[in-house]
């Protein structure tokens, strides 16, 4: 039985701890650093996500994971100049894999601080250079170019955890977990979220353009590996807002929508033109932008916020927030289970949602579909629930 001893479990007092495979060798090797218990949970969940994105959409994929849910996930769709600036990558030479990670990391940069990165392809120099400058707790990928590996080994004073996963590894059909000394057992969730899930369009509007098919699949695959209940907003091949782990779906929708709005507001000209003081570090700039978008600050936040800028930031700009947000459209909402009431659709419509993919099967299906029709949305009922716990 192959095993890897861990420093401790979820918390430092939970010792001893280990990870092991009863059925053969571990499917990954540690190339650098010492991954912990939570690191490995994030690594194995995030790897499954990017592997499925890669196989389904045939393009490099990346995820930025924190505490068993993705802060962001994306495939390699070219970046606009505005997004390059909003993601702080305008001066970098990005490969497709690096673009995917820039998108995944850029969706919710506050949540991605100290993430676990998952990359679907062999890591090249461009991706390693991007990852090297970010605050990250580790990375998993199927391989690394020698120079890229050397770059990543320099992170955290040489202690950055780097895992190489066997891309051909397949888990056994039956998975088990223990809770309170009791063993749960179930079939591994081998449902592949492919285009066949999109066949049951229940709204009057039926057409799903290719780019929206991609976004529906990005949202669905992201949700498959997000702690439930969960809602994902997707656009341009990436998650732009993930609302995870809430007890009611409207709260999930509101969290995801708020994150999506913040993502779009970061592309506002007033935000892109902010002038930071010389020497301001990227995390400081990110926090200052979030406070700028928040608007309502305490006196202490105001003081710290002003110190980040070369000169006092101007008002939000010639285009007010609400007017700017009205330009956000074509967004996809994914739900990991059925949408129980139309209030989710009403909230989503305020944040540019035009496409919905959900399980269906609620007693309120008719009213939810009617709400989608009122807003001119396309809605797909897959018939499959994707809870993940």
Q: Which of 21, 67, 85, 156 is catalytic?
A: 67
What distance separates the 2 farthest-apart alpha carbons in the chain?
64
- Please list, in sequence order, all residues whose beta carbon lies within 8 angstroms of the beta carbon of residue 124, skipping any fewer than 6 positions away: 95, 97, 98, 145, 148
Q: What is the dihedral of CA 175, 178, 184, 187, to 10 degrees?
A: -10
What token pair was written down for 322?
Answer: 């609400």
Q: Out of 32, 39, 51, 66, pick the active-site residue.
A: 66
State the Cα–Cα distance between residues 164 and 171, nearest whole angstrom: 16
What distance in Å separates the CA atoms of residue 1 and residue 101, rounded to the nearest whole number? 34
Residue 311 is a catalytic residue: no
The one catalytic residue among 13, 170, 196, 389: 389
* Contact between residue 68 and residue 76 where contact means Cβ atoms under 8 Å apart: no
Q: Which of 32, 39, 229, 344 is catalytic?
A: 229
**Residue 67 falls in the annotated catalytic set:** yes
User: For residues 65 and 63, what is the distance between their CA atoms, to the nearest angstrom?
Assistant: 6
| Region for 317 from its dihedrals, namely left if φ exceeds 0, alpha if ψ lies in -120 to 50, beta otherwise | left
As annotated, the active-site residues are 66-67, 229, 389
């Amino acid at each position: 039985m192959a095993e890897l001893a861990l420093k401790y479990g979820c918390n430092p007092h939970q010792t001893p701890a280990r990870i092991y495979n009863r059925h053969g060798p571990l499917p990954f090797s540690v190339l650098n650093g010492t991954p912990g218990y939570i690191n490995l949970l994030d690594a194995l969940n995030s790897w499954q996500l990017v592997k499925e994105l890669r196989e389904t959409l045939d393009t490099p994929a990346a995820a930025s994971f924190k505490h068993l849910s993705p802060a962001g996930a994306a495939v390699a769709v070219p970046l606009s100049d505005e997004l390059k600036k909003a993601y702080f990558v305008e001066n970098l030479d990005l490969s497709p894999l690096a673009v995917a990670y820039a998108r995944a990391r850029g969706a919710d940069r506050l949540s991605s601080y100290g993430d676990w990165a998952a990359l679907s392809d062999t890591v090249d120099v461009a991706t390693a250079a991007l990852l090297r400058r970010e605050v990250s707790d580790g990375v998993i990928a199927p391989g690394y170019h020698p120079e890229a590996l050397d770059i990543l080994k320099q992170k955290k004073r040489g202690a950055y955890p780097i895992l190489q996963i066997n891309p051909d590894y397949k888990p056994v059909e039956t998975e088990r977990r223990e809770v309170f000394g009791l063993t749960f057992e179930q079939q591994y969730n081998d449902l592949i979220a492919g285009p066949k899930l999109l066949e049951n369009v229940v709204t009057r509007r039926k057409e799903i353009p290719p780019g929206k098919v991609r976004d529906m699949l990005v949202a669905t695959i992201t949700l498959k590996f997000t702690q439930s209940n969960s809602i994902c907003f997707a656009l341009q091949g990436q998650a732009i807002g993930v609302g995870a782990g809430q007890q009611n779906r409207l709260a999930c929708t509101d969290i995801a929508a708020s994150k999506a709005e913040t993502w779009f507001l970061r592309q506002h000209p007033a935000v892109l033109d902010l002038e930071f003081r010389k020497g301001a570090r990227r995390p400081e700039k990110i926090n200052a932008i979030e406070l700028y978008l928040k608007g309502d600050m305490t006196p202490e936040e105001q003081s710290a916020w002003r110190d980040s800028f070369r000169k006092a930031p101007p008002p939000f700009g010639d285009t007010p927030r609400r007017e700017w947000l009205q330009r956000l459209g074509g967004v996809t909402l994914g739900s990991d289970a059925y949408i129980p009431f139309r209030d989710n659709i009403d909230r989503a419509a305020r944040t540019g949602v035009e496409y919905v993919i959900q399980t269906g099967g609620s007693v309120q299906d008719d009213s939810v579909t009617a709400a989608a029709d009122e807003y001119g949305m396309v809605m797909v009922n897959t018939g499959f629930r994707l809870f993940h716990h």
